Structure 1
Amino acid sequence: MSALSADEVYALAPYAKTLGVVFDEIAATGVRATLAHDLSLSTVGGGLHGGALMGLADVCAAVCAALNGPAGAGPATVESTTHFLRPARTDVVATARPLRVGRNTVVEVDIHGTGGELCARVTQVVTAVRMQVPDEPSPAVPADAGP
């Protein structure tokens, strides 16, 4: 993939928009995005929930990997390790950068609070998969269809 706009990312991965990810920079050398602190995304103590931080990191890593991957391929996360270092009680900024580029791309994502404090560090392995966009939605599987 050569370049992506925020709107193209939202179209390919609607979860990013649902979560509230706002892209500040989208480039093969790095992706930077902001997630506003919102009580609906918080947990005990008022910090952003770890799942919200991991979702932000996953979106940024996937975009970074896609921009470094082969043409016609899309990203699929196959491994993710998150180190939570302190509660994120403010808006956060995620910065993703590729550490190794190839069929399996390794991306590191640092998530900082607005005061510059490192809240989490995420390392992801993202593989390139052939992208297929269905012409029509898949029919629903009847509830009694069984496994």
Structure 2
Amino acid sequence: MTITAEDVYRLAPFVRTLGVEFSELTPSAVTARLTHKVELSTTGGGLHGGALMGLADAAAAVCAALNSAPGALPATTDSTTHFLRPVHGAAHAVAAPIRVSRTAVVVGVQIADESGALCVHVIQTVRTRVPQPAAAAKEE
């Protein structure tokens, strides 16, 4: 299955609003970047934790979708974030599957700063569900 950045922006407009840019979209790794903007910063000028969690969530959801049945829609059910150090400048995320099942994908996301130092580590569980046609849903 192929997913493009435009597909992500269409299905999840918040990802574009946040400013997430994707550079690699494969089942084995999703890489994304969040440019530092004053509007996304917090005390001390680093990127706000919510912005970093948004970056991680977007990368993890795309990774889960790429590791699921065609047409599956991702929905985060659990996310644990470890903030290790502030991110000054752009944030670079790499999301990779840890465990893939029929209905969920556990994804690890590493976020580094521009120097390559690890700043945030996220483990996220993303459920994946293929929407059923209306007639099939009524029969269930």
Aligned residue number for residue 15 of structure 2: 16
Residue 36 of structure 2 corresponds to residue 37 of structure 1: yes
Structure 1 unaligned regions, length at least 5: 133-147
Aligned residue number for residue 62 of structure 1: 61
The number of equivalent residue pairs is: 132
Structure 2 unaligned regions, length at least 5: 133-140
Counterpart Cα distance in 1 of 2:71 and 2:46 = 38
TM-superposed deviation, 1:121? 0.3
Residue 116 of structure 2 corresponds to residue 128 of structure 1: no
Percent identical among aligned pairs is: 53
1:70-109 correspondence runs (5 A): 70-102=69-101, 103-109=103-109
Counterpart Cα distance in 2 of 1:115 and 1:85 = 14
TM-score, structure 2 normalization = 0.91
SS in 2 for 1:116: coil
1:76-119 Cα offsets, whole Å, 9 max, x none, are 00000000000001101000000001111100000000101111
Amino acid at match of 1:105: V
Counterpart Cα distance in 1 of 2:114 and 2:131 = 36
Larger radius of gyration: 1
Counterpart Cα distance in 2 of 1:82 and 1:120 = 7
Counterpart Cα distance in 2 of 1:73 and 1:131 = 7
SS in 2 for 1:15: helix
Counterpart Cα distance in 2 of 1:85 and 1:26 = 26
Aligned-residue CA RMSD (Å): 1.3
